[in-house]
Amino acid sequence: MLPRHVAVVMDGNGRWANKRHLPRAAGHKAGVNATRKIVENCAKKGVEALTIFAFSSENWNRPESEVSSLMSLFVSTITAEVKKLHKKNVRVCFIGDRSRFSAKLQQSIAESEELTRDNTGLQLNIAANYGGRWDIVNACRQLAAAVRDGSVALDDIDEQLFDSSVCLSEMPAPDLFIRTGGEQRISNFLIWQLAYSELYFVDTLWPDFSDDDFEASLDWYAGRQRRFGKTGQQLIDDQAMQSN
Ligand code: FPP
């Protein structure tokens, strides 16, 4: 089965560049090519949503020169790619706190969202200055404010309502999480939304992540039995009931 929503931590750009004695920025640039490929593949295959971690809230701690080269890369990439994405019916959305970005980057973000907002193909969510804990705290603030102004009762707060207050609540949670670069951690990505995702870790560095590598991750996913807390036998019984 094809995942409806794929989430990706695109790790390994820096190491890819180091191996070639290139500046880290060259690794990020090469990473854009791999990003383009996975976006095209998802759009072609009919994946509903792809969420990529472009810049975490913690990435501000990198050397200033790397942060500024990443920011320029974001502006140039968005400007160069958004029209092509629009032609492919891709809807582009950003999640994260964009207020810390330059006016120019905020404008590129807003324009790309505006241009593609009515598209009905793949939804590409770009997490930029995003952190899973930030997302959860934000949801808490929204709900606390709603309780304070009386529009929500404290007893009404349950998982479903909380879920509707975090980012990406309008779409199914990621079915498949992919992390390249060999590390096996979530790194404060969609920590609420990944609760039941299948986690796929691969050593390949992001710029080397090919169509075949993506295909391999989809094959691996297709072989998973998603139990959501149930037993394997219950799932077999559920399936039999559905086909009757
Ligand atoms: C992690 O690799 C990668 C990033 C922090 C940046 C990812 C960004 C892109 C691929 C550009 C995408 C562009 C847009 C507009 C969506 P790393 O630097 O941590 O690698 P390392 O672990 O080898 O050092």
Name the token pair of 61: 């701690």
pLDDT at 237 over 90: no
53, two tokens = 């971690």
Strands ordered across the beta sheet of 91-95: 91-95, 123-130, 49-56, 5-9, 176-179, 198-201
Candidate list 41, 59, 119, 188, residue with the active-site label: 59
Domains of the chain listed by start with CATH number: 5-243 (3.40.1180.10)
Written as six digits, the tokens of 37 are 């490929």
If one residue of 81, 111, 206 were mutated to test the ligand 1 pocket, choosing by the most ligand atoms within 8 A of its CB, it would be 206
CA angle 131, 135, 137 (to 5 degrees): 115
Q: What is the pLDDT of residue 11?
A: 98
- Report the predicted TM-score, pTM, of the whole model to 2 decimal places: 0.94
User: What's the rounded mean pLDDT across residues 78-87?
Assistant: 96
Question: Is the CB of 8 inside a 6 Å radius of any atom of ligand 1?
Answer: no
Displacement of CA 161 from its chain's centroid (Å):
22
d(CA 134, CA 57): 8
- The average confidence (pLDDT) of the chain is 96
Ligand 1 contact via 126 beta carbon (within 6 Å): yes
Share of the chain above pLDDT 70, in %: 100
* CA-52 nearest atom, ligand 1: 16
Q: Pick the residue whose CA is nearest to atom 5 on ligand 1.
A: 55
Mutation probe of ligand 1 site: the residue of 9, 10, 111 with most atoms within 8 A of C-beta? 10
**3-class SS string, the chain:** CCCCEEEEECCCHHHHHHHCCCCHHHHHHHHHHHHHHHHHHHHHHCCCEEEEEEEEHHHHHCCHHHHHHHHHHHHHHHHHHHHHHHHCCCEEEEECCHHHCCHHHHHHHHHHHHHHCCCCCCEEEEEEEECHHHHHHHHHHHHHHHHHCCCCCHHHCCHHHHHCCCCCCCCCCCCEEEECCCCCCCCCCCCCCCCCCEEEECCCCHHHCCHHHHHHHHHHHHCCCCCCCCCHHHHHHHHHHHHC
User: In this predicted structure, which of 60-69, 72-81, 234-243 has the lowest mean pLDDT?
Assistant: 234-243
If pLDDT is split at 50, 70 and 90, which confidence band does 225 have? confident
| 63 CA to centre of ligand 1 in angstroms | 14
31 lines ligand 1 (CB under 6 A): yes
Question: Does residue 74 have its Cβ closer than 6 Å to ligand 1?
Answer: yes
Q: Would you state the pLDDT for residue 115?
A: 98
| 42-71 mean pLDDT | 96
Q: What separation in Å is there between the alpha carbon of 172 and the centre of ligand 1?
A: 25
* Tens-place pLDDT, residues 122-166: 999 999 999 999 999 999 999 999 999 999 999 999 999 999 999
Q: What spacing in Å lies between the alpha carbon of 53 and ligand 1's midpoint? A: 8
Evaluate if residue 95 carries a pLDDT over 80. Answer: yes
- Split at pLDDT 50, 70, 90, the class of 114 is very high
What's the rounded Cα separation, in Å, for the pair 169 and 166?
6
Over residues 39-49, the mean pLDDT reads 98
244 has pLDDT over 80: no
Over residues 31-48, the mean pLDDT reads: 98
* Ligand 1: centre distance to CA 205 (Å): 10
15 Cβ closer than 6 Å to some ligand 1 atom: yes
**Catalytic residue status for 11:** yes
Asked whether 25 lines ligand 1 (CB < 6 A), one says no
Determine the average pLDDT of the residues in 5-28. Answer: 97
Residue 5 confidence (pLDDT): 98
Q: State which amino acid sits at residue 77.
A: T
pLDDT at residue 235 in the model:
82
The pLDDT of 39-67, averaged and rounded, is: 96
Give pLDDT, residue 240.
87
| CA-based torsion, 164, 170, 174, 178: positive or negative | negative
Q: Is the pLDDT at 121 greater than 80, yes or no?
A: yes
Distance 12 CA to ligand 1 centre (A): 7
Confidence band, pLDDT 50/70/90 cuts, at residue 15: very high
- Per-residue pLDDT tens digits for 175-198: 999 999 999 999 999 999 999 999
Atom of ligand 1 nearest to the CA of 78: 15
